[in-house]
Amino acid sequence: MDIFEPINDSQALLIILADAISRNNELEITANIHALGLHLEQIKTNTSFLQQQLTQLSKNQNGALKQTSSIIAKPELKSGCYIFSGEKGFFCPRCYDNHGNKVATTRLNSKQRICPVCRTSLK
């Protein structure tokens, strides 16, 4: 569907119409006004169709995003670190929240862990 063709045709008709008006040719003026009306109606139909398609695509995209977000597991917080289902270890919340990286922390002592990437100390 080409929405620009009827717009270009309408612009050309307006030039012809202006010429017919300057020559005071009523028959040509009436014919061009009628043709212009038809082109404008076609533009209206095309834009309405495109708007419906855009609305449908938006709904489909929103549905897909909702499905994707429900599939992604939310991490649990334990001892200041994230724990992901299906993965072993404690992960740095700062690296995950800021960059989306799952960085396993290392134990510093019995009460403290540290991230090897951002050097955040976690209790």
Domain ranges for the chain: 4-71, 76-122
Q: What is the pLDDT of residues 12-22, one digit of tens each?
A: 888 998 888 88
Its sign, for the CA torsion 48, 50, 51, 55, is: positive
- Catalogue the E-assigned strands of 5-112: 76-78, 81-83, 106-107
Helix (H, G, I), strand (E, B) or coil at 79: coil
Amino acid 107: pLDDT: 92
Task: Judge if pTM exceeds 0.85.
Answer: no
Q: What is the pLDDT of residues 50-97, one digit of tens each?
A: 999 999 998 888 777 666 655 566 788 888 899 988 889 999 999 999
